[in-house]
Structure 1
Amino acid sequence: MKSNNKIIHGCLTIFANEPTLLQFPVPENGLAIIGDLHGDAFCLLKAFEFYGFPPNIAYLFLGDFLDRGPMQNEVLLFILLMKLRWPEYVYVLRGNHELYDVTKYDFKNQKLLSGKLKTKKTDTKSCSTDYNNPFIFIYINQLFDYLPLAAIVSDYFFFCHAGVSQWMTCRANIANIPRPTDLNNMKILEGCIVTDILWSDPKSNQELPFELSERGCCYSFNQEALHAVLRALNVHMLIRGHQIIPEGILDNFGDGSCITVHTATREAAGYNAC
């Protein structure tokens, strides 16, 4: 549909004009943080019911809108429409599930719901036919390549999808990463930082500051490592998503330096099938 194409290309233009590292003060009316959604439209709407809509409050999304859940298409389009309507009140960061190598397994073949909520397989359509555009998957991934990677708010909070990197020695290391962000066509150091931003995890029982992660593509970090990077960035707290937290929020190290936010419910996001 032409309207969907306009939404995607309109948002791509907005994201392309934003910096890789967002830096702004806490908005006067507050900032709501939305963690992983994974196609959970119900929890997204619940958040708006609780916090309200811009401009009465600003929103920062920590990535991972897609995969696993039943309403990935609806969640993505809703967030993009919000960005178009309130570009100065809606901030959207990239997650690891906004990478082509991840979306090609689930989102690309997502049976998108059209019209009313339906449960029978015969009532759903494939990604391309639902949008009436065989190139829509490519367009969406091009948009993802322009999403900002991190945000520093009020020189106190550092926001990103997953975590910090041992190569974050200053803010410029992040701010100077060029976009579109293509991990297959980047300088090695920049690629390492991007990978850690999108994939890394805090580990409280880890001896070395940074160790190769069990995920196989990044480094995990302990409390000591996090504090060192926070000092280098001149901030005090990391707020991230990336991990399933049944309670919705977790103080990873118990000292308030690393907070994980997870917005989707287990049932709605389909984790029981993972």
Structure 2
Amino acid sequence: MSARLMLDGKVAVVTGAASGIGRAIARSMAARGCDVAIADINEAGLAETAGLIGDAVRVTCHRVDVADRSAVARFPDEVAAAHGVVDVVINNAGVALAGTFAQLTEAEFDWLLEINLQGVVRMTRAFLPVLERRPQAQIVNLSSLFGLIAPPGQSAYAAAKFAVRGFSEALRHELEAAGSPVGVSVVHPGGVRTGIATNARAAAAVDAVEAARQQAHFQKVLRLDADQAGEIIVRGIERRQPRILVGQDAKLVAVIERPMPVGYWHIIGRRRG
């Protein structure tokens, strides 16, 4: 894969950009002179993100539900009409869902997969032909700390985020073998202070008191500022890193998991208390 990706004058698509990490990524990309097409289902949040970016670069807002096949299929044409080209696609949109596998209904499990996994696959399928027309381009897929390890109570989320990791790695190898100009980065954020814990759904079978306890626990471990996380991710995009670990917790977990791919929870579970 060729060297550094210069973002000045490029065009990036960022999903889940109405808040949190997506907003931070869009702002960091724009600060480097990159035009951005920001997407989310929260139009008010998108407008706020656009306002924070200002008018130094071209920003367009797009209401897109990544679980909607037809909306994603139309999205490349919308971006082409607004920006002409696309150089980077950042698949950040995602949701959280608490509950053990026994507590989750099939519909609840599928709801998360449609957004966190199929949304990434659909966006990649829609934009890959556009990206391959560029001399240098990058697909950036947000996995998670839970795409490295799989804690109890996160069966749906971990299933999706491990799948994003596997999909991204296989796609990267295929594109490299084909001599494509498109690189693939997979991002593993650790505990980042965003609204994901507050906005997370709990399975209907989860007791309300237990759901509140879990939410409070996750709030405590979300320590890294979203803007810092966005900067780390964008620096990784510039370097075209295949894997981007965000936060000391993600780096530590990667070190622990590597020699203990089966037994890591005996250590990490104790650390979580």
What TM-score, normalized to structure 1?
A: 0.30
Normalized per residue, the structure richer in helix is 2
What TM-score, normalized to structure 2?
A: 0.30
